[in-house]
Each structure stands twice: as C-alpha cells, then as structure tokens.
Chains A and B, each alone.
Chain A
C-alpha cells in the first residue's frame, strides 16, 4: 500500500546551517506530496506541496522537489533559524486511495543560536 518514510530525528542544527530532511514514498498511482510543520503545542500546518513530477514546492525559504525517478520529496532550507524549530511531517495523497493522507513519523528539528 501507499506509505511515506522519512528520516528519523531528532535533528539539531546551529542557526544558519543547511537543512535536509529526507522523505521517500511508495505509491501505486500519481500522488501529491506534502510537507507539514507542527510547532510546539499546535496542530499541523501545511508548509508546501507538489502535485506532479518535477514540481518544486516552496514556502518560507523551504523547498522540496517531487522526484518520481527516486520516489523522493526531500525538504531543504539554506539557512535555518531558531524559529524553524518544530516537527516536520512528510505526507502523500493519492487519488487511487480516495485521496487518503499517509503521513511519515515526523522529524523533530531543534535550531540552537
């Protein structure tokens, strides 16, 4: 069945460091891919998404490119800030499964000054 695998955390970085959080997926159809962010004490918020191969989603300095050949959707940011400390979830939604969402287990990021 459809699934998402993302790198385990926790990840700790210094401010202004480069961030990569890996995400790979398994899907039988043509899924849409998402990154959600959860700040402490809050619900999940959509960070970015991509709906077809080679699309790049971007928001708040974060980027992820939908790579069909490697079934990946890695999240990157060139210079993280303390305010980026949160848990990041990769997810997919596929029409052939009724657009159900499948989430990864989440990656906790802490950015230290």
Chain B
C-alpha cells in the first residue's frame, strides 16, 4: 500500500463550487504539505503543517484553506473554485532526520479541472 494517498485522483468541477482534496499518510510523519504543479512553473507551496496544531501559509495560499484533522490527515479546500485553480495538486510528508535533513515523500497527485 502507498505511504501517501490522495483522494480523489481526478476531479472536474464548475466555477464557484466548494472542493475538498484529501491526503492521508501512514509514514508517521509530523510534517505535511500541499503543493500545486503547473506547466513551466514547477511546484509551488500552498500550505504546510509541522504538527496538528501548526498550520502555515505557503507561497500561494490565497483562495485555499486547509485542515489538519490528525497527524495522518491533511485536507485542502477550495471554498469557491475558479478556472485558474485548474492544476495538479500534490500532498507531501516529511520528518526531520537526525542530521536535521528533511526529505519529502509525495502522494500520486490529484488532477483538478475547474470549468
């Protein structure tokens, strides 16, 4: 079984709809992240959480919100979807290593299309 899972894998929705993307992990990591990937722009950080009580905005948080329901679950919501939020969304986890080194582990992605 995959260590980091995302649901749904694909979603088509209409402008103005509320959408939730879910992420679950079995790696036991404290840190979780949401990114979006757009062609030619690489990955951009939306939100991140270093533990259940810690939520931080990333580079492009406007139009998004998150909820860390448990150590293993981190959800991303689009309160009112708009077409320029059409993208590939990735969840990732990490755990600070003994040498102070972070390595991120990614889910398979959710392809979201907003019409």
Inter-subunit contact B102/A93 (CB<8 Å): yes
- A106-B101 contact given A42-B108, A43-B107, CB 8 Å threshold: no
CA–CA, A41 to B87, complex, Å? 13
B100 contacts A95, CB within 8 Å?
A: yes
Chain A residue contacts of B48, Cβ below 8 A: 100
Residue from B42, B58, B102, B108 within 8 A of A105 (CB atoms)? B42
B79-112: CB near A (< 8 Å → 1, else 0) gives: 0000000000010101010011111111111000
Q: Are B90 and A46 in contact (CB under 8 A)?
A: no
> Does B41 reach chain A (CB closer than 8 Å)?
yes
**Closest CB in chain B relative to A60 CB, distance in Å:** 16
B19 touches A (CB below 8 Å): no
Asked if B99 contacts A43 (CB within 8 A), the reply is: no
Tell me which of A36, A93, A105 contacts B101 (CB under 8 A): A93
Which chain A residues border B102 with CB–CB below 8 Å? 32, 93, 99, 101
In the complex, which residues of chain A have a beta carbon less than 8 angstroms from the beta carbon of B78?
none
The answer to whether the Cβ of A103 comes within 8 Å of any Cβ in the partner chain is yes
B52 within 8 A of A: no
**Do A46 and B105 form a contact, CB below 8 Å, given A105-B40, A105-B41, A105-B42?**
yes
A-side contacts of B103, CB under 8 Å: 34, 46, 49
Whether B70 sits at the interface, judged by CB under 8 Å, is: no
A22 within 8 A of B: no
A79 at interface (Cβ–Cβ under 8 A)? no
Q: List residues of B whose CB falls within 8 A of some A CB.
A: 4, 31, 33, 40-43, 45, 48, 50, 58, 90, 92, 94, 96, 99-109
Given contacts A42-B109, A43-B4, A105-B41, 9 further A-B contacts (CB under 8 A): A34-B103, A44-B43, A44-B104, A51-B101, A93-B102, A99-B102, A100-B48, A101-B104, A104-B42
Interface residues of A (CB under 8 A from B): 32, 34, 36, 42-46, 49, 51, 89, 93, 95, 98-101, 103-106
